Structure 1
């Protein structure tokens, strides 16, 4: 069964953007929306995970949970989705002590 998905892809390689536009509509720069099967969704997620190194990709799709959707992320990111008793919350990572600037 097909379902609507949304992918936000920031600073990703051009070949990934091309793969996304084969299946989805780029409604604004770096934001893709479309209706695809679960198999295509999983393939797009795998492609984003494989080549999103310094960039960021976030996939949202319908799920049978309280919120009605599920999030998947790939790449370097400051925001991390966390499961909190069945609800997805977003946690912000702090700069590590090694990379923080001295006062």
Structure 2
């Protein structure tokens, strides 16, 4: 197994692009990618080699992204909490969509 710095350098861009494609938001992609590598470092000994390392990292990233979406939904992100950018849903079915207008 290569050292973790080499893993980070090799796969950071792949994981970032994967999450950027899901979230359509650069800030979210950066946040999830950083958390992905933090979690991967903590559990690298659990990597069994059943799949490619990139696939394992992207699975962690997807799970982190979905957890973030659930957290934001639960927390009511955007209601003044700064979790949502004006009029944009950051989590959803993988597409960035305009939020519906507020009721009068």
Task: Give TM-score scaled by structure 2 length.
Answer: 0.31
Q: More helix per residue: 1 or 2?
A: 2
Q: Which structure would you say has the larger RCO, counting Cα contacts within 8 Å and 6 or more residues apart?
A: 2
Q: Which has the higher strand share?
A: 1
